Structure 1
């Protein structure tokens, strides 16, 4: 093993571009997946037969087939119907549609966790349905759905490696191509693994910050703990009264 070669890979423009492509795929697919999931969740809440039939077929199709199959199908089959998409757009479309099927269930469970009585109370106070959704339902549902959405974000980061099969130059494809040219698989894959761990660590830190900002109790506890103790992870026993 050559640590110098691992460092060279880490700072090389090729690996950096691959990491940026992986990050871009993750963010785009997750954003579109949340939008698709929200639409599907609202259709399920609508209780209409057409909406429930459409969502049932969508969930059955994209939760019942492998992600790799969906990526290859969109990239290779759609052109036969006259729909030609670039490799990047095909990858984002496939990952977003797959992610939307899981996001729909997460968001639906979060919306249903807010009791209907609170919505009725908001309407009784003179709020519109949109204001009730914005000020009453969404803030509470956000605290519920944030942890599973964070897990989905990390999962999406790892699933993005599958798009290498359609020649999207993300991190794993770059590492594999570099290793195939130099036969230094250990160093190339180690560098890729470090990039993946760094990105997942950042996502986990962002998730923790968002959870704390949305939870009033955690915000209050954070204010009462000195900054040095928060950074060092020191916890103090409660005072005995």
Structure 2
């Protein structure tokens, strides 16, 4: 299962609640590479209402370059790409208008998240706004929102609108509880899911190890779905070209 990508990972040291130190980031990189991941999009938390988004984006780019250089020096076979996980709050329209966003690996895909008490209408408004601005909305871990547990059918509507659904691997594996696992299986069985990502924050708990989830998906849904999900992730690097 080599040559796969993790499009959502908090591996950059000191930028959010993910890796705290360079040593933590290197350990995460070793785990990712050891589980067959060849590319990681670094997606630290960002808020659309942050007035310092331009400087934060520049800091993310610098950190990606620095960590990537260190991994190369250590011989860890992992290519890093810049991105962000953008919290859609009151500043979304302004950030989009000014282009103050960092898409996944330079593609048109913008990874967006919401507070966990979000309602369906707010998700749909934000995703539509992102799409109108010329980006492809990638909804981070929709299976973890209680509103989606109540009405999982909303994911069918989002997929039909061209919004890409990214599930967290720990949801699929049941580590976030029964409801997340159930909704994840429901979406996977209907072909609604674009990608599975680690959403890793360290080497304990939410880790960048991906082999277990790919094995679980192949076992329950077959190798074709596993291959399609992996190929979908890699297509981000080509911007679907």
TM-score by length of 1: 0.25
Bigger share in helix:
1
Bigger share in strand:
2
TM-score by length of 2: 0.25
The structure with the larger Rg is: 1
Greater relative contact order: 1 or 2 (C-alpha under 8 angstroms, separation 6 or more)? 1
